[in-house]
Each structure stands twice: as structure tokens, then as C-alpha cells.
């Protein structure tokens, strides 16, 4: 399977900026989302009714399709943990203000988790497979796994993304993750996954998710064994944890470990940012920061009980 295009709007200079992996700096609490001119992708009338996560997601999705030279994807799949969280809060506020009386259905429609995937399909007039996954910190990996299944069944290309926006007041992210030092953020990343290799594509070797994990080291070793790899064959590991251990305990040298949360900020689908980061590293070879990188593992253990693993390579298959 191949990733043939990628697009991200984040707190970093990622959008339409090949080679951004050479320019990243750790975020701070003063960091802001780097938006773009949405008018190229969304009409003024539509933009007026959209939340930030809708605008960033749709823009990345359209940019991705443009990169891949695709007018209509065969499937649209989105992973989001919190959905349109700002709209959800507004909807709940309206319910409270109305004393649980009648409300406009629009407030509900734009607050559902599948709003992003549905809006992309509406704008494209796409009637293909459309799915949204909401599995907490594994939402994006589940979406990617479904994209792989679609391609295995003969679908030629899938538009797949991960997106979440910051809304601390109703989700208590820092409390949920038991870490008050986290830089809360938002972001949207979209990709075209295809079973046909194109110029500049990166090979997606495997995606796997694990819940109720008691020993991540055992799960990781089984994953590597299943892919006929040893730890020393992994050139770079992009990881996220919330235990403040900074990757300690992972069976990789410290020089191979990159905490992508410091770059993306914390939101439940920030592993989508990590995937674009890995994609960019693999397409700049040799990389001035990391050298000759051919195989990258994304290790998403943001929640202690969840583990998402994504394996990429620039090697031809």
C-alpha cells in the first residue's frame, strides 16, 4: 500500500511546504494554529457556516486530491476523537439556554463526529464509501486500517484523514491524560492511500491498534516479528506517550527517538501529524537532520491502555 499525497494544517509550517521536517521547533503554550487562505478551497458562503476543524480538514482534503491528480476519491474515511468539539459545546449551551426546548436541527447537524467526512463528500458530490472512526487516541489508526482494507478489496485510492480541535472545557484533556504540562493543540492531516505506486510515494507497510494493553513491550515485539523486522532495523521512531518518560523503556537508541507531541502539540489524532512528518522525512533523503532514513515506526501510546503502531518505508516493494 502507498501514501501518494499528504497535507496538514497544524501549529507548524506544514501546509504546502515540502521539506517542512527540516524546519520544526518545539511548541510552547503561546503557539497558534497556522491557518491558510481557505478561499481557494471553500466558497465564502460555505466558509461562513463552518467551524475551524471543518475548514482545515476540507482544505487539507482538497489539497491532497489536487496533489494526487484525483477528482473523485473512491472512499472518504476520517478519524476523529472529539469531532467538531467547539460546535458540540455550542450545541450543549443552546440546549441549556433553551431549557431543553426545541432547537434548530442545524446546531445538531454541524456538531456530529461525521460532519467532516460528510461535508467533504457534499462538496465533492461524492457518493462513494464514507466512514468516520471515533476510537479515542486510536481513531486515526482505525481510519488508516480501513483504508488499507478498502485498497486490499480493489479500491484504487482512498482519501483518509485525522482531525481534532482543542476544546478543553468539555473534554478536560490534561486531566484525562494526567499531565498538566501538555501543550494542547489542534490539527488536520489528510492523505491519499492507493494500491498503485506513483512518483514520490511512500510505502505503508502496516497499521495496527491494540486496546487494554498491559505490556507495550510485548505487543511491540510481536508487531516487529509479524513484519519480519528487528528493533535495530528501524531507522527512526516517532513516539507519543504521556508518562513523562520521554521514550525510556522503548527498545531503540535515544538518537532514533523523536517525541512528535513536542512538535504537533496534544490532540487525540496527532498521530496523523506524525504520519505526514514521517512521509516528509522519507521523501527528503538523505535527510539533513536524520541522515539516511528508510524505515520509520510511529508509536502512539498517548493513552497508557491504547497502542497504535504504523510502519512506513521508502524502500520499493
CA distance 37 to 224: 42
Average pLDDT along the chain? 92
CA distance 21 to 63: 19
CA distance 261 to 299: 11
Same domain, residue pair 129 and 105: yes
Same domain, residue pair 190 and 240: no
Domain end marker among 169, 194, 219: 194
Same domain, residue pair 17 and 116: yes
pLDDT tens for 276-314 read 999 999 999 899 999 999 999 999 999 989 999 999 999
Check residue 112 and give its pLDDT.
87
Asked if residue 299 lies in contact with residue 312, where contact means CB atoms within 8 angstroms, the answer is no
CATH number, domain with residue 305? 3.40.47.10
Total domains present in the chain: 2
Same domain, residue pair 36 and 129: yes
CA distance 306 to 137: 7
Same domain, residue pair 172 and 265: no
Residues in the chain: 317
Same domain, residue pair 148 and 263: no
Check residue 92 and give its pLDDT.
82
Check residue 102 and give its pLDDT.
80
Q: What does the pLDDT average to over 110-136?
A: 95
Residue 187 has pLDDT above 90, yes or no: yes
Check residue 317 and give its pLDDT.
55
Inter-CA distances, 276 with 20, 63, 73, Å: 10, 14, 19
Same domain, residue pair 119 and 265: no
Name the residue among 231, 274, 239, 175 with its Cα closest to residue 248. 239
Helix H or strand E encompassing 259? strand 257-259
Structural domain that includes position 259: 203-313
φ, ψ dihedrals at 278, nearest 5°: -65, -40
Domain end marker among 145, 175, 194: 194
**Residue 88, C-beta contacts closer than 8 angstroms, at least 6 positions apart:** 82, 111, 167, 170
Helix H or strand E encompassing 176? helix 173-176
Domain end marker among 165, 194, 223: 194
Same domain, residue pair 229 and 209: yes
C-alpha cell at 101: 426546548
pTM: 0.95
CA distance 84 to 145: 22
Q: What does the pLDDT average to over 7-21?
A: 97
Residue tagged 476523529 (cell numbers): 80
Check residue 249 and give its pLDDT.
80
| Burial annotation 162-186 (CB, 10 A radius, 16+ → b, else e) | bbbbbbeeebebeeebebeebbbbb
Name the residue among 302, 20, 35 with its Cα closest to residue 182. 302
Residue 243 has pLDDT above 80, yes or no: no
Check residue 157 and give its pLDDT.
96
Same domain, residue pair 161 and 62: yes
Query: How many other C-beta atoms are found inside a 10 Å radius of the C-beta of residue 275?
Result: 30
Same domain, residue pair 57 and 141: yes
Same domain, residue pair 8 and 122: yes
φ, ψ dihedrals at 8, nearest 5°: -140, 135
C-alpha cell at 105: 436541527
Same domain, residue pair 126 and 36: yes
Residue 244 has pLDDT above 70, yes or no: no
Residue 160 has pLDDT above 70, yes or no: yes
* End-to-end Cα, the chain, rounded Å: 9
Amino acid at each position: 500500500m502507498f501514501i501518494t499525497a499528504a497535507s496538514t494544517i497544524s501549529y507548524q509550517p506544514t501546509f504546502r511546504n515540502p521539506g517542512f521536517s527540516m524546519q520544526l521547533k518545539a511548541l510552547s503554550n503561546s503557539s497558534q494554529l497556522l491557518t491558510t487562505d481557505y478561499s481557494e478551497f471553500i466558497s465564502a458562503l460555505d466558509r461562513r457556516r463552518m467551524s475551524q476543524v471543518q475548514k482545515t480538514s476540507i482544505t487539507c482534503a482538497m489539497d491532497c486530491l489536487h496533489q494526487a491528480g484525483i477528482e473523485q476519491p473512491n472512499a472518504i474515511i476520517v478519524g476523529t476523537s472529539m469531532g467538531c468539539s467547539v460546535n458540540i459545546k455550542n450545541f450543549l449551551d443552546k440546549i441549556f439556554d433553551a431549557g431543553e426546548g426545541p432547537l434548530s436541527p442545524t446546531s445538531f447537524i454541524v456538531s456530529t463526529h461525521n460532519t467532516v467526512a460528510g461535508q467533504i463528500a457534499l462538496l465533492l458530490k461524492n457518493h462513494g464509501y464514507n466512514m468516520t472512526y471515533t476510537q479515542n487516541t486510536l481513531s486515526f489508526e482505525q481510519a488508516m486500517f480501513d483504508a488499507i482494507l478498502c485498497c486490499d478489496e480493489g479500491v484504487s485510492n482512498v482519501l483518509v484523514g485525522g482531525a481534532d480541535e482543542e476544546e478543553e472545557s468539555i473534554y478536560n484533556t490534561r486531566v484525562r491524560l494526567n499531565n498538566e504540562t501538555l501543550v494542547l493543540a489542534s490539527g488536520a492531516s489528510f492523505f491519499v492511500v492507493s494500491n498503485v505506486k506513483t512518483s514520490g510515494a511512500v510505502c505503508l507497510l502496516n497499521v495496527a491498534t491494540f486496546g487494554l494493553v498491559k505490556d507495550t513491550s510485548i505487543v511491540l515485539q510481536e508487531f516487529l516479528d509479524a513484519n519480519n523486522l528487528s528493533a535495530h532495523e528501524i531507522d527512526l521512531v516517532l513516539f507519543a506517550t504521556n508518562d513523562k518518560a520521554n521514550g525510556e523503556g522503548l527498545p531503540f537508541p535515544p538518537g532514533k527517538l523523536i517525541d512528535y507531541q513536542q512538535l504537533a502539540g496534544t490532540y487525540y489524532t496527532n498521530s496523523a501529524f506524525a504520519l505526514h512528518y514521517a512521509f516528509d522525512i522519507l521523501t527528503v533523503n538523505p535527510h539533513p537532520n536524520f541522515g539516511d532514513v528508510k524505515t520509520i515506526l510511529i508509536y502512539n501510546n498517548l493513552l497508557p491502555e491504547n497502542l497504535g503502531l504504523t510502519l512506513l518505508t521508502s524502500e520499493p516493494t
